[in-house]
Structure 1
Amino acid sequence: MNAEISARLDAALATAVAQQGRADSKAATLLTLDSILVAGFSAMAGQMPTAAWPVAAAAVAALIVSATLAILVIRPNLGGTDRGSFIHWSLIDTDEVLVESLREDHRPAHLRVMARITLKKMQLVRRSGLASLLALGLLAVAALVTVLV
């Protein structure tokens, strides 16, 4: 493999790893937002009229979905045994196999694994964010019903 391709592989791997960190940070932010929305719901729950409860229940369901999706982003996936994953390396049990495996360049396989993980994380972050937005809107409607009734 020539130096230019090798440098591009290294850059692509670094980008994939950085994007995973961004996804984890976004998931943490969404979990914080969900916690704030739960606190807001708790504060107004005692004053909420019966007419607002169905909307509030839908908001709580959306918050549960959002939090679950955000947790799935930060939860480690330990199921893969692809040659490019750390799980593969943890399963190697002899020095001889380890040395043989290190002779090959696993960066292309590692990049594929990291890109798939990154894509999955970003998809979950997006869905979690949409669920949080839905919950926020529903809580605003419930608050408006509470004020008007």
Structure 2
Amino acid sequence: MPKELDIDARLDAATATVLAEISRTDAKSGVLLTAFSLPLAALVAAVPGKPLPGLSAVLVGTGTVGLVAAMLVVLVVVRPRLTGNPRGSFLYWSLCTGEQLLADLDAPTDRAAHIVTLSQIARRKYAGLRLAGDITAVALVALAAALLTALI
């Protein structure tokens, strides 16, 4: 097998892998937004108008702010980045005429650089999901502590 075919196959596999990871982050983001909305909805339904002891009120407020912050981080993860128009991308093609698109598709591309760019996007998305998870953990601990202090 010629070496060029081998690298082409590996570049194709790398591209597919990175695109799958980006899709996974978007799917996880949807699940997280749904999961975060459930305790937030419960708080909105249960807390207003109910007197809470001072420490419980602070902990509920902290937990609520944490859940909202985690949701905002997840929304940043799924928010499309429309800046930069690298050649060979749909963003670039959206600004092309038909002739320019054909010329771009006919030109040689730097597939390795494209994979690096996609990998950086995937890494940023995963970093955002990790941050949202960390914030959520703190928020849930605060909410659990609020529940315990209200019961004691």
User: Taking structure 1 as the reference length, what is the TM-score of the superposition?
Assistant: 0.89
Q: 2:85 maps to which residue?
A: 81
Amino acid at match of 1:99: L
Gaps of 5+ in 2: none
| Range with bigger deviation, 119-128 or 50-59 | 50-59
Say if 2:67 and 2:135, in contact at 8 Å, map to a contact too: yes
Question: Relative to structure 1, is the Cα distance of residues 115 and 84 closer, same or farther in structure 2, using a 3 angstrom cutoff?
Answer: farther
Say if 2:88 and 2:104, in contact at 8 Å, map to a contact too: no
Partner Cα separation in structure 2 for residue 98 and residue 43 of structure 1: 53
Alignment partner of 2:121: what SS? helix
Deviations 1:14-42 (A, max 9, x none): 01111011111211121122111213323
Amino acid at match of 1:91: L
Q: 1:65 maps to which residue?
A: 69
Runs of 4+ that moved beyond 2 A = 39-44, 46-51, 97-100, 105-110
Amino acid at match of 1:101: D
Q: 2:22 maps to which residue?
A: 20
Say if 1:52 and 1:145, in contact at 8 Å, map to a contact too: yes
Percent identical among aligned pairs is 33
Instruction: Answer yes or no: is 1:101 the counterpart of 2:104.
Output: yes
Say if 1:58 and 1:138, in contact at 8 Å, map to a contact too: yes
In the TM superposition, residue 85 of structure 1 has moved relative to its aligned partner by 2.6
Amino acid at match of 1:86: F
Equivalent pairs counted in the alignment come to: 147
Say if 1:49 and 1:146, in contact at 8 Å, map to a contact too: yes
Say if 2:70 and 2:135, in contact at 8 Å, map to a contact too: yes
In the TM superposition, residue 48 of structure 1 has moved relative to its aligned partner by 2.9
Say if 2:73 and 2:131, in contact at 8 Å, map to a contact too: yes
Tell me the C-alpha RMSD between the 2 structures.
1.8
Gaps of 5+ in 1: none
User: Taking structure 2 as the reference length, what is the TM-score of the superposition?
Assistant: 0.87
Partner Cα separation in structure 2 for residue 84 and residue 107 of structure 1: 9
